[in-house]
Amino acid sequence: MRWDNFRRSSNVEEGASGGSGGPSGGFRLGGGRLGIGAIVIIFLISWGLGIDPRVMLDALLNGGGGSQTYDDQGGSGQSPSGQSASLSNYPNADFVAAVLGDTEDRWTEILGERNVAYTAPKLVLFSGSTRSACGRAESAMGPFYCPNDERIYLDTEFFDEIQNQLGGCPAGSKTCEFSQAYVIAHEVGHHVQDVLGILPKAEQAEQNASESQANAIQVRVELQADCFAGMWANRSQAKLKFLEDGDVAAALQTASAIGDDTLQKRGQGYAVPDSFTHGTSDQRVRWFTRGLKSGQLSACDTFSASQL
């Protein structure tokens, strides 16, 4: 992945430490500070009790509370790029700023075609935990978007987890950069849904639905964000020719590795479809690929699709 020519965003911030409350979702369930073993135990106990495992994880990490998430700034001084000087503590900060900057440019163009103004989200880098308007952000929850403050929260250690724990791309390969870009672009996709009014409608529909129905709605939300991530890559490739051999295969490997069925089978040995909130591996690959091939919003309408 060639990203040297990407414009660096000035919307990357460092998260403040501490906080209370907790988010109820993220890019995936598993890993992080608790470790895979603890997550597996939580999943098995919660399934036996018939409750959402995210509720137990939230209670364990944060004492409950929090708001729906998808998928205060510290530091002082500014670097020449406009970033907080404290971001030098994050080796991936320049890469994150580059990918975020390019998503800003591409989505400004895409939504401009529909006469919709695009206001870019902030992206908060943190280590361990930080505060968000949706509760405390924990690395164990994975990257997520908080619509309450229009911010993406990302512990960049998740990039290492993709390679070394989830098998999401060839460990140590440069192609893992595009897998990492896919993660960022997916969370930006949730912000695009917010801008377009999709998230509020989905949240309202979930409130009036049963648990299994609400999960099914959430799957469509997540798969659309995957499709939007593919759309970004399509438009950026057309303009900047940034993809290299193996990049797409690595991103598809990541999409497959974080499917609900794959994660559940890894954790407990079997999958429970009614509990899926992000989509199966095949579905995630399929919708990312649709966006990548088409580059069109109309191709990403998961809510009208009869088959995901």
pLDDT for residue 70: 73
Residue 187 maps to a domain: yes
Q: Identify whether 305 is part of a domain.
A: no
Could you give the CA distance from residue 25 to residue 87 in angstroms, rounded to a whole number?
25
Q: Taking the chain, what is the end-to-end CA distance rounded to the nearest angstrom?
A: 29
Q: Which residues of 34-45 are buried (b: 16+ CB within 10 A; e: fewer)?
A: bebeebbebbee
Q: Is residue 33 assigned to a domain?
A: yes
* Structural domain includes residue 122: yes
Q: Tell me, what's the pLDDT at 136?
A: 85
Residue 5 lies in a domain: no
Q: Provide the number of structural domains found in the chain.
A: 1
Condensed to tens digits (0 to 9), the pLDDT of residues 210-248 reads 999 999 999 999 999 999 999 999 999 999 999 999 999
Tens-place pLDDT, residues 32-64: 334 444 444 444 444 444 545 544 444 444 444
Q: Is the pLDDT of residue 135 over 60?
A: yes
Asked whether residue 4 is assigned to any structural domain, the reply reads no
pTM: 0.81
Cβ contact 103:145 at 8 Å:
no
Q: Kindly state whether residue 306 falls inside one of the protein's structural domains.
A: no
Looking at residue 86, its pLDDT comes to 65
Rounded to the nearest integer, the mean pLDDT of the chain is 82
Q: Is residue 70 part of a domain?
A: yes
Residue 302 to residue 201: CA distance in whole angstroms? 14
- Residues 76 and 85: their CA atoms lie apart, in Å, by 7
Burial-class residue 170 by CB neighbours within 10 Å (0-12, 13-18, 19+).
Answer: middle
Q: Is the dihedral of CA 271, 275, 280, 283 positive or negative?
A: positive
Q: Which of 117-131, 146-160, 193-207, 261-275 has the lowest mean pLDDT?
A: 261-275
Confirm if 243 and 1 have CB atoms less than 8 A apart. Answer: yes
Instruction: Identify the domain containing residue 178 by its residue range.
Output: 12-300
What residues contact residue 91 under an 8 Å CB cut-off, 6+ apart?
A: 156
